[in-house]
Every structure is written in structure tokens, then in C-alpha cells.
């Protein structure tokens, strides 16, 4: 097993119990990291036990500007989608899906598991601050204001999933931040409604033609029209 260790100077007891409880609650799924019903603390740390992933995390396998083999991407996509579907069925949103938070059990990605539920929220919760990693954050999260807040929705995870799959395929981000000040994102917004498989923006020419349209659903700008992670099963 592996031990997840959290520094008490940076983690409250409430935050620790939040992550441990959600991790344990979800760990029955085959593509979510197993958590043992074991936790304890020392003078300086909170600790709980998890399943050991011998091959590390998915991010460490990505070759810059290359990605990982397409067959491995497909295996990862199916497994991550299954985990996210299960999380959504339980009324939760991960809020920080990215390759760093997907653990790998073999180098060919026949078994990968989602982990790190420290930022997970109950669907319908109102948040007043941005949550997650900026590269994978949906545009509505970037645009939120403290005064209005934002209702947590599973579409946040769908967006992050789409960006993560792009990164696995290409070894780079489609944009740095999903707002119109980012040129890569602006090009995607400008062409999304007329996304042509034979003449996409330059950033999307590395993506196989047959799956480009899938990203129009996963990365729909309007979150109410965003698809489901199960789109990958139709590709």
C-alpha cells in the first residue's frame, strides 16, 4: 500500500477527513484508487492508506509535444470516463481532474485509476472561488465572480476530461487558460460552431480526424450543451 501524507500546517482536520471520506466512499470502483479504512495522525501529519500504483501517474508518461500512443490514450479515456460516470452517479464532482491525478498500474495503461479527491464537491454546492488547475478549468470557472458564485456541476469534470485527452494525444495543452485573452482558446471558440475536420485550427491538426468532433461536445463553451464523458465510447 501507499501512504498519503498531509502536512498539518497546510491541511485542516476537516479537509483531511473530507478527502479521506470521499476517497474511501468511491474506492469500490475499479478505476478509482483503492483506499483502506485506515487513517491516523502524528504530531505533524495526517495520514491515510491507499492502494499502491507501481507505474506512477499518467502525467509522467506523456512525452512533450508527442503524447502517448493512441491505443493507450483510448484505454485511458474509457477507464477515466467510467470513473467519472461513477463519481457523477454518487452526486459528486472531482473538480481537479488532470493526468497528474490519474495513477497508472502498468506502462501500457491497461489499468489506470483516478485519485486525489481533496477538491471534490457535492453537485449543486455554490462556490465563490475558482477551484482546480488553471489549464483544465472550464471557462465558466474563469469567468465566475465572488458576488455571484457558481453552482458546482458535473460539466466541469467533462471539460477537464476533454483537455486531458487532448494532452495525452498531443503532449501539449490546446491553450493555457480558457478565456478569450488566450489566442489558442479564442481560435477554438471562433471555429467551434463550424468545426471542420479537414481544416481545423493549427493546434488541432495533431488530433486524429475521426475524433475531432468529439471535442466539440466535451469542450462545448456553453456548459448546458456540454456532452458526457461517455462520448469516448462512440469514437
Are residues 137 and 82 part of one domain?
A: yes
Are residues 182 and 83 part of one domain?
A: yes
Are residues 73 and 31 part of one domain?
A: no
Total structural domains within the chain: 2
Q: Among 94-108, 138-152, 186-200, name the most confident range.
A: 94-108
The domain in which residue 167 lies consists of 56-234
Tell which of 34, 52, 70 closes a domain: 52
Mean pLDDT of 81-105: 98
The pTM of the full predicted model, rounded to 2 decimals, is: 0.94
Are residues 77 and 101 part of one domain?
A: yes
pLDDT at 203: 85
Are residues 120 and 202 part of one domain?
A: yes
Tell which of 12, 33, 52 closes a domain: 52
Are residues 195 and 84 part of one domain?
A: yes
Rounded Cα distance, 54 and 195, in Å: 40
Are residues 109 and 219 part of one domain?
A: yes
Q: Which CATH number is 67's domain given?
A: 1.10.510.10
pLDDT at 198: 65
Rounded Cα distance, 84 and 67, in Å: 22
Tell which of 52, 74, 90 closes a domain: 52
Are residues 41 and 64 part of one domain?
A: no
pLDDT at 145: 74
Buried b (16+ CB within 10 A) or exposed e, 11-39: beeeebebbbebbbebbebebbbbbeeeb
Bigger pLDDT: 199 or 218? 218
pLDDT at 52: 95
Active site annotation includes 153: no
pLDDT at 38: 87
Alpha carbon distances (Å) from 101 to 60, 119, 159: 11, 12, 15
Are residues 188 and 148 part of one domain?
A: yes
pLDDT at 170: 96
In sequence order, the β-bridge partners of residue 103 are 57, 113
Are residues 211 and 117 part of one domain?
A: yes
pLDDT at 123: 97
Indicate which residue of 7, 44, 57, 96 is catalytic. 96
> What's the mean pLDDT when you consider all of the chain?
92
Q: What is the pLDDT of residues 1-46, one digit of tens each?
A: 999 999 999 999 999 999 999 999 999 999 999 998 889 999 999 9
Rounded Cα distance, 99 and 110, in Å: 15
Checking if the pLDDT of 193 tops 70, the result is: no
Bigger pLDDT: 193 or 122? 122
Rounded Cα distance, 56 and 223, in Å: 32
Are residues 39 and 112 part of one domain?
A: no
Mean pLDDT of 206-234: 87
CB 135 within 8 A of CB 158: no
pLDDT at 199: 73
Alpha carbon distances (Å) from 151 to 109, 116, 155, 161, 201: 34, 21, 11, 19, 32
Q: In what order do the strands lie in the sheet with 2-7?
A: 2-7, 45-50, 35-41
Place 233 in a pLDDT band, splitting at 50, 70 and 90: confident
Helices 70-89, 155-170: crossing angle, 10 deg rounding: 170
Are residues 151 and 67 part of one domain?
A: yes
Mean pLDDT of 120-126: 96
Amino acid at each position: 500500500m501507499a501512504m498519503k501524507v498531509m502536512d498539518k500546517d497546510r491541511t485542516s482536520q476537516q479537509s483531511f477527513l473530507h478527502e479521506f471520506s470521499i476517497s474511501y466512499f468511491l474506492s469500490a470502483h475499479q478505476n478509482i484508487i483503492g483506499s483502506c479504512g485506515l487513517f491516523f495522525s502524528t504530531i505533524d501529519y495526517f495520514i491515510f492508506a491507499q492502494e499502491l500504483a507501481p507505474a506512477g501517474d499518467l502525467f509522467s508518461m506523456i512525452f512533450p509535444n508527442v503524447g502517448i500512443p493512441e491505443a493507450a490514450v483510448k484505454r485511458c479515456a474509457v477507464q477515466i470516463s467510467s470513473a467519472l460516470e461513477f463519481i457523477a452517479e454518487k452526486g459528486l464532482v472531482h473538480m481537479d481532474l488532470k493526468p497528474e491525478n490519474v495513477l497508472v498500474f502498468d506502462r501500457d495503461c491497461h489499468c489506470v485509476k483516478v485519485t486525489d479527491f481533496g477538491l471534490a464537491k457535492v453537485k449543486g454546492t455554490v462556490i465563490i472561488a475558482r477551484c482546480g488547475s488553471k489549464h483544465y478549468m472550464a471557462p465558466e470557472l474563469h469567468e465566475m465572480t465572488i458576488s455571484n458564485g457558481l453552482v458546482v456541476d458535473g460539466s466541469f469534470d467533462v471539460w477537464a476530461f476533454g483537455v486531458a485527452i487532448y494532452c495525452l494525444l498531443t503532449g501539449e495543452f490546446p491553450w493555457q487558460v480558457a478565456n478569450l485573452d488566450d489566442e489558442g482558446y479564442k481560435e477554438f471558440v471562433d471555429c467551434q460552431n463550424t468545426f471542420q475536420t479537414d481544416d481545423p485550427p493549427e493546434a488541432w491538426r495533431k488530433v486524429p480526424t475521426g475524433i475531432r468532433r468529439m471535442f466539440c461536445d466535451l469542450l462545448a463553451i456553453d456548459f448546458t450543451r456540454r456532452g458526457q464523458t461517455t462520448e469516448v465510447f462512440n469514437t
